[in-house]
Amino acid sequence: MYARKLSALKSGAAGLWGVHVSENRRRVRILKIRQSMESDLDEIMEIYAYARRFMAENGNPNQWGPTNWPPKHLIHNDILQKKSYVCLHEEQIAGTFFYTIGKDVEPTYRHIENGSWLDDSAYGVVHRIAGNGSVKGIGEFCLEWAYRQCGHLRIDTHGDNIVMQNLLAKMGFRYCGIVYVEEDRNPRFAYEKAGVW
């Protein structure tokens, strides 16, 4: 499924890296994932500002826009807890996301409506995934990286976030039901991917 876009994904001393072939196959892009550092905070917040604009322009103004989500103090805390990651292209930050793993690690996922989770084992969670628009395929690369860390990944998205819903379906995630998150009371579509890794 990913052979066309992701031809190598390996661990190394500098973190996980991969070769990402762009849609038009004329460019080979080297993307890397590393943990975020405190010095990245302002640049990460700029990415979220871009993401809010992008979502609003693409029919999803309510996921992060009304609350100016995510707040800077939350991202700073993610960094301190070593749960914030950045995706680098040519050593420049092009994307960011939250990732953690564990048994029942996401409290808001304990209750799911209109469905059920596929697997009750420990899982990874991705939240707050965003790119700055400079490189296509950042979301797919980051989600693939997270999945390869654990082989069992959960994520949620707003009902208006058609871009993310399409990406998750393309990557083999299954819709599982509705969950509610802390930042607002809007329902979120819950997705899961579990399997051999």
Does residue 136 lie in a domain region? yes
Q: Is residue 12 included in any domain, yes or no?
A: yes
Contact 145, 155 (CB under 8 A): no
Q: Establish if 90 belongs to a structural domain.
A: yes
Domain count, the chain: 1
Q: Integer distance in angstroms from the first to the last C-alpha of the chain? A: 14
Residue 1 lies in a domain: no
Q: Range of 47's domain?
A: 6-194
Please check whether residue 28 lies inside any domain of the structure.
yes
Buried b (16+ CB within 10 A) or exposed e, 48-80: beebbeebeeeebebbbeeeebbeeeebbebbe
pTM, to two decimals = 0.87
**For every one of its 197 residues, what pLDDT tens digit does the chain have, with 9 covering 90 and above?**
333 344 444 554 445 555 454 444 566 678 999 999 999 999 999 999 999 999 999 999 989 988 899 999 999 999 999 999 999 999 999 999 999 999 999 999 999 999 999 999 999 999 999 999 999 999 999 999 999 999 999 999 999 999 999 999 999 999 999 999 887 888 999 999 998 54
Q: For residues 102 and 132, is the Cβ–Cβ distance under 8 A?
A: no
CATH of the domain at 73: 3.40.630.30
